[in-house]
Amino acid sequence: MKFQKICVLGLGYIGLPTASTFATHGVQVIGVDVNPEVVNTLRNGGLHIQEPGLRTLVQAALRSGNLTIQNQPAAAEAFIIAVPTPFREQKRADLRAVEAAAQAIAPLLQRGNLVVLESTSPPLTTVEKVAPLLEMSGLRSGEDFYLAYVPERVLPGSILRELIENDRVIGGVNRASAEAARHLYSLFVRGELLLTDATTAEMVKLMENTYRDVNIAVANEFARLAERFGINVWEAIELANRHPRVNILHPGPGVGGHCISVDPWFLVEAAPDLARLIRTAREVNDGQPHHVVEFARQAFGDLHGLRIAALGLAYKADVDDLRESPAIEICRLFQQAGAEVLAFEPYRQEPQVDGIPLGRDLNQVLQAADLLVVLVAHRQFRSLSAAAAAQLMRHRQALDAVNLLNRAAWEKEGFQVLKVGEGLR
């Protein structure tokens, strides 16, 4: 089976790298996005998301003539749906973009076409929601056209490498559909292509992220316990991990991103009576930003009028992705407590993000601040000088939510240092 022309719907963190990778491997690709700003930016040679190596890849795809950008899908031999699936009220999956994409594909479907859903979705989405919408074409999934669910398994910051090298789970509505999808992804994937059914593939994706979420929740609970017992959780974790069968993750300000902080709720939605541990882990991690702010209040007193220098707004280190970021939530909570927050996010240049003002550099953010709050372990922050901060700040106080600061060096400069996971001194 050969695929000479494919259509990728959704040009975000997954869709754009996927479309560009296919294009640089000799396939004609129609990249589709309903956001006119995204379409115009890409057509004009710009980039609306940041990922190492992505600009070079997209430019190569466009120069090759294999990648074209438009706002409507067109006929192709294969269609890939890579649109967002956020959650809405009551933590329920918002599948409207997936449904709209399937509806847009249906009039274009021809016998022998392949449709792949990559968007993270609750179990049974492919067979119970996407298939019926595509079958409005009059064609039957698994018989007249192939239908599969193929989740992405990449890490922001390493997307381009992992897109090619990672194993991929290929879930078809029947064996023929899985085989068709395997032929498509074999065009560039070097990892193993593992065939299963569509619902199992959906479950696998959710299990992977839920597993990490539950383990992060345990680490965050350990941190809270350590604070109460007056010990250092970072030392305790290091010692516990010397056990040959223990690997405790690091605590922090919470869990963000579009995957780990969202996907477990899809399982809670699908089976609330069974997913009790999963719900509890989500509640622990969702509550971590509130815990961090309350921890600061206990250590530093009334937050009203405090000038806070917040370092980092991304959901994790060394990426520009702000989706579901706990750092943003913490800044909002500080603002609600009456503090004045000025943040520095090295991967963002706009004057503010979600009502949080951004400084142009570290010096501006630290100038006359009362409290330094480290929320993201960006590499740009690792060389931050305690002596330089002491010269700029009005009061020498620091809250470290990611264990980035060297306590001895900062205390030598007269700072009171508070770390998440350490008892108050």
Supply the residues annotated as catalytic.
Answer: 205, 259
Identify the CA nearest to 18 among candidates 52, 48, 61, 50: 61
CA distance 236 to 232: 6
Please report the DSSP string for 295-358 in residue order: HHHHHH---TT-EEEEE--SSSTT----TT-HHHHHHHHHHHTT-EEEEE-TT--SSEETTEEB
Angle at 29 between CA 24 and CA 35, to 5 degrees: 115
Integer angstrom CA distances of residue 81 from 17, 32, 84, 263: 13, 10, 9, 17
What are the residues facing 81 on neighbouring strands? 9, 117
DSSP 3-state assignment of 108? helix
Spatial neighbors of 132 by CB under 8 A, at least 6 apart, are none
Q: Residue 184 is which amino acid?
A: L
Q: CA-to-CA distance for 133 and 129, rounded, in angstroms?
A: 7
Cα–Cα distance for residue pair 115/136, rounded to 1 Å = 14
Of 155, 159, 166, 102, the closest CA to residue 132 belongs to 102
